[in-house]
Structure 1
Amino acid sequence: MPPEERTSVVTPAACCVIGAGLVGLATAFELASRGHPVTVIDPEPMSGASHHAAGMLAPAAEIQYGQDNLVPLMRASMALYPDLVQRVAAASGCPTGYLTCGTIVVAADGADRRHLRELADFQHAAGMDVEVVTTRYLRQLEPAIAPVVAGAALIPGDHQIDPRVFGAALMCALKKLGVRFEERKATPDDLGPKTVMAAGLGAAEYFPFLPLRPVWGEIMRLDVPDAMTPLVTHVIRGFVEDRPVYVVPRGNGSVVLGATSRENHRKWGSLGGVYQLLRDGIRLVPGLEECSISDIGTGGRPGTPDDLPLVGTDTATGTVISTGYFRHGILLTALAARLGAALVTGDRHVTGLDDRAVESILTHTDPYRWSN
């Protein structure tokens, strides 16, 4: 064949992902799905913040004052999630734990009701679909809610995923795609231009300039008696004397109870945090008293000074940094995976976003943005 008629075949580059939480696993999935040989390095896959997370995909319910730059990321990732879930399900043949059940936000007393209405106004201003409903209608939707609650809002577009189930599906899919897992601690030799650092709080060990701080939160998993299953069918988020609490139903009939947040170096859970969860949860959903505790855990989430993630390329090693997802790590996983894959491959089309959106995201999440 004459040289001018030959076509060259480009072999996708081998890549490495450090960290096997949901962000790392999903990033590896995006790379492997595009033909890249991938190695995932983590001494204990799915043992960190992802293991303890409740898994709410709730850009409306999670929105907070002063986080305007975070809202586009949350919405973009939410839009990408159904496609990610469908592809993981097809590649793995496993359940994903994805539910489109919607969220109900509940106020325990009059002051909490004012907070709820102010938050609903803020959510409406951000273009979110939120409907303040009567407590009578609330009781029709969720009979297990306490009859004395003072107010409620319905957010039908917020979904949820069980991180442990989805993590198992991702690992199954990755193994079928030929991804190699190395259950060991990463070394400096593993860093480089085709590596994604997605080790959560552990990323600061390799890149000490990253302004990460641990934010701990207690979480409980409860088994519901058969006669009471399902206890609730929506994600229940509440304010009890301005303290947040949530009750998340799982597909197997169990529920997750959580929402404490503390910033200290005490890794293990506190008795006060567990007591607060039980007290506030039972006040909103009295049937929780009849449940049995199957698991209590404490997850360390990687927080940043402005609550935005750290996504970009390290100038010294060429390593792609993808961490700092804080309270929104599960929600932002779909977007984080696309961005990480795009930075490694140089193909911005991987993100599914236009160039302007990608540049805006990378500008606001640049790991070096505090250096000056």
Structure 2
Amino acid sequence: MSRTVAVIGGGAIGLSVAWRAAQAGWTVTVHDPAVASGASWVAGGMLAPLSEGWPGEDAVLAAGAASLQRWPDFGRELEALSGESLFTSDGSLTVARDAADAADLRRVAEWLETQGYRLDLLSRAEIRAAEPSLAPGIRLALLAATESAVDNRALVRALRRATVDAGVAFTPQAVTDVDALDADQVVIAAGTAAARLWPGLPVRPVKGEILRLHHRPGVAPAPTRTIRGSVHGRPVYLVPRGDGIVVGATQHESGEDTQVTVAGVRDLIADAGALMPSIGEYELYETAAGLRPMSPDNLPILGRVSDKVVLAAGAGRNGILLTPLSADAVVAELSGTPLAEAKTCSPDRFDGLGASIDRVRK
């Protein structure tokens, strides 16, 4: 018998779930009035669980690393199916401009080693040799050679092509009532809107502004690696693209606001220039803002909450990184065999969500 699943949300995670579910034999419909938009369209595309790791966030690191491990095969399969070129950087470099930042880098490196990841600390001379366009005042850097980045817009184009080829149907219907959907199973992968579809889901919107810069003739080329740093306490990253650099990202608890502010653009340009002085000569091609769907503990919420509904929510600032793990976890839930690597991401860690799972298990 045909098994049907409705996926609410057509961002990177929703499309990946739909694609993998169709490959597993499900008849899939994606419900989204604006497929491949929202946070997936605005994202920086970093695949950097080690660089973003912080002592004490062991579960966040484990989930991100499990998804990073899936990315090479996941990305190559999509590239072969779609003809898109996805990967844009070779490694990540987190830099320190002062003594306090350098101390933090050493602390992170020591913690990562206890988790089984040995990263290299680079001196001033090694930094200049690796990325000559960076500011000469940078005193220390942490190199994560296994990390990467992808072009998020190429990713959603590739996923749209892959889902169509796999037989996934699309409807622009905006879902307001999960119970009204005529499907055997429902997957909620609707970003910040997920909280409106499942009562008690602890997902909140956090605005992030980004800049897309185009390279101009005669200007220093973009770094080959993703560059991360902190300027005046503000985190900033530079992600290479084929035509330039993506600079991000601000972070504001501002509800559903997606307007780009003058202050946000000013700070991003100033902070990026502190890491790479020549960036001021690039063309400011686009400014954009998206809403990150954040969970209270920075872990995604992946798993079953009723006999019909599975969540793929709360990926936060790591939605692109967590895409392959989220898809595998959801398809495993649909088949009744939960994915061990996603156990810490289960909804039952939150009061009110876990109760519904207990009823299912009984």
User: How far is the alpha carbon of 1:22 from its aligned partner?
Assistant: 0.5
Which whole-Å CA distance do the structure 2 matches of 1:346 and 1:91 have between them?
28
Q: Flag as ranges the 4+ runs of structure 1 deviating above 3 A.
A: none
User: How far is the alpha carbon of 1:367 from its aligned partner?
Assistant: 5.1
Q: Which amino acid aligns with 2:124?
A: T
Q: Does 1:318 align with 2:299?
A: no
Range with bigger deviation, 65-74 or 39-48: 65-74
Q: Does 1:159 align with 2:148?
A: yes
Aligned pair partner of 2:165 in 158, 176, 184: 176
User: How far is the alpha carbon of 1:54 from its aligned partner?
Assistant: 0.4
Q: Which amino acid aligns with 1:370?
A: D
Range with bigger deviation, 103-112 or 23-32: 103-112
Aligned pair partner of 1:366 in 335, 344, 347: 347
Which whole-Å CA distance do the structure 2 matches of 1:197 and 1:334 have between them?
16
* Counterpart position of 2:135: 146
TM-score normalised by structure 1 residue count: 0.89
Range with bigger deviation, 165-174 or 239-248: 239-248
Q: Which runs of 5+ in 1 are unaligned?
A: 1-10, 352-356
Q: How many corresponding residue pairs?
A: 350
* Counterpart position of 1:243: 234
Alignment of 1:18-167 (within 5 A): 18-92=8-82, 94-99=83-88, 101-167=90-156
Q: Which amino acid aligns with 2:292?
A: R
CA contact (8 A) 1:104 1:235 kept: yes
Task: Please list the CA deviations of residues 211-262 of structure 1 after superposition, one character each: whole Å capped at 9, or x if unmatched.
Answer: 1111111111000113336321111111223321110001x23100013212
| SS of structure 2 residue aligned to 1:248 | strand
CA contact (8 A) 1:109 1:240 kept: no
Name the CA shift for 1:226/1:129 in 2 (closer, same or farther; >3 Å).
farther
Which whole-Å CA distance do the structure 2 matches of 1:70 and 1:283 have between them?
29
CA contact (8 A) 1:130 1:154 kept: yes
Q: Which amino acid aligns with 1:107?
A: A
CA contact (8 A) 2:208 2:290 kept: yes
Q: Which amino acid aligns with 1:32?
A: A
| Amino-acid identity (%) | 35
Alignment of 1:176-195 (within 5 A): 176-188=165-177, 189-190=180-181, 193-195=184-186
| SS of structure 2 residue aligned to 1:181 | strand
Q: Whose Rg is larger? A: 1
Aligned pair partner of 1:228 in 219, 230, 234: 219
TM-score normalised by structure 2 residue count: 0.91
| SS of structure 2 residue aligned to 1:70 | helix
User: How far is the alpha carbon of 1:132 from its aligned partner?
Assistant: 0.7
* Counterpart position of 2:280: 289
| SS of structure 2 residue aligned to 1:330 | coil
Name the CA shift for 1:85/1:111 in 2 (closer, same or farther; >3 Å).
same
Which whole-Å CA distance do the structure 1 matches of 2:188 and 2:181 have between them?
10
Alignment of 1:314-353 (within 5 A): 314-315=305-306, 318-348=308-338
Q: Which runs of 5+ in 2 are unaligned?
A: 356-362
CA contact (8 A) 1:192 1:319 kept: no
Q: Which amino acid aligns with 1:141?
A: A
Which whole-Å CA distance do the structure 2 matches of 1:163 and 1:254 have between them?
14
Aligned pair partner of 1:13 in 3, 6, 9: 3
Task: Please list the CA deviations of residues 143-167 of structure 1 after superposition, one character each: whole Å capped at 9, or x if unmatched.
Answer: 1001111221211011111111011
Which whole-Å CA distance do the structure 2 matches of 1:28 and 1:318 have between them?
16
Range with bigger deviation, 63-72 or 51-60: 63-72
Q: Does 1:304 align with 2:295?
A: yes
CA contact (8 A) 1:104 1:237 kept: yes
